[in-house]
């Protein structure tokens, strides 16, 4: 499987000539969805969900489909009947040849005064886990964790403890658009030293083989 990092929380996974795209949002390059056979969206916040990008992907490929939670599906399903699928915690499905399991139900707490919205994470091929905006612990081993490294709802101690709890073989940073280049070495050093796993980051557009 080939993993390509796109800006912020978006990644592309490629296998056997097919492409799965997760969380193309407003910080993501417009071409991130091009050629997608399937798309997954963790929740409705605009840094993860950009309706225009998703519509462009579905229009470019009449066979492309989306799997997401109800708050996102309701905004797209009328325009693309039968191609937008609603999922929730515990569901399992196949998307473009990838086996996907759904874990989690709620977005992390941003502030007690802000109501929590729904959020799901996706475990792809029993190996790669994208948690969206939550520190969800799936009831299955995680080989490669896509780690939300910097967000209004987390702090570095929680990120480190999350890596320790999941014990993935490796972790790659996502949710990093708010992290400046000046601060990156601090995060790299602390997560790498304290997380207990192989921690790395990919520049937008860079790829690695899993």
Q: How confident is the model at residue 162, as a pLDDT? A: 98
CB 43 within 8 A of CB 120: yes
pTM of the model: 0.97
Mean pLDDT over 168-183 rounds to: 96
Summarize pLDDT for 54-109 with one digit per residue, the tens: 999 999 999 999 999 999 999 999 999 999 999 999 999 999 999 999 999 999 99
**Partners of residue 124 on adjacent β-strands:** 100, 128
81, 83, 88, 89: CA torsion to nearest 10: 170
3-state DSSP of 41-99? ECCCCCCCCCHHHHHHHHHHCCCCEEEECHHHHCCCCCCCCCCEEECCCCCEEEECCEE
Domain residue ranges of the chain, discontinuous segments joined by +: 2-209
Mean pLDDT over 173-197 rounds to: 95
Q: Which band of pLDDT confidence, cut at 50, 70 and 90, is reported for residue 160?
A: very high
Report the residue count for the chain.
Answer: 210
Q: 75 — alpha (psi -120 to 50), left (phi > 0) or beta?
A: alpha
Does the 2-209 domain belong in CATH 3.30.70.3270?
no
Q: Which of 25, 95, 103, 97 lies closest to 65, judged by CA?
A: 95
Q: What DSSP element (H or E) covers 1?
A: none
Nearby residues of 89 by Cβ (< 8 Å), 6 or more positions away: 102, 103, 104, 105, 120
Q: Which band of pLDDT confidence, cut at 50, 70 and 90, is reported for residue 122?
A: very high
Q: Please state, in angstroms and rounded to a whole number, the distance separating the CA atoms of residues 165 and 172.
A: 16
CB 19 within 8 A of CB 35: yes
Q: Which of 191, 94, 172, 90 lies closest to 138, judged by CA?
A: 90
């Amino acid at each position: 499987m080939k993993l390509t990092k796109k800006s912020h929380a978006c990644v592309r996974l490629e296998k056997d000539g097919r492409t799965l795209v997760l969380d193309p949002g407003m910080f993501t390059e417009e071409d991130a969805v091009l050629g997608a056979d399937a798309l997954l969206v963790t929740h409705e916040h605009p840094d993860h969900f950009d309706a225009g990008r998703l519509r462009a992907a579905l229009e470019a490929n009449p066979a492309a489909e989306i799997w997401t939670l109800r708050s996102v599906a309701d905004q797209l399903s009328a325009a693309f009947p039968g191609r937008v699928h609603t999922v929730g915690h515990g569901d399992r499905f196949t998307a473009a040849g990838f086996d996907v399991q759904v874990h989690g139900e709620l977005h992390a707490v941003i502030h007690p005064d802000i109501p929590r919205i729904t959020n799901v994470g996706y475990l792809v091929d029993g190996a790669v886990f994208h948690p969206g905006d939550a520190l969800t612990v799936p009831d299955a081993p995680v080989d490669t964790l896509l780690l939300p490294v910097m967000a209004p709802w987390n702090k570095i101690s929680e990120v480190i403890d999350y890596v320790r709890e999941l014990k993935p073989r490796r972790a790659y940073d996502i949710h990093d658009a708010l992290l400046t280049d000046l601060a990156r070495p601090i995060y790299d050093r602390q997560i790498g030293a304290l997380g207990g796993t192989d921690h790395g980051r990919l520049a937008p557009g860079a790829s690695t083989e899993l």
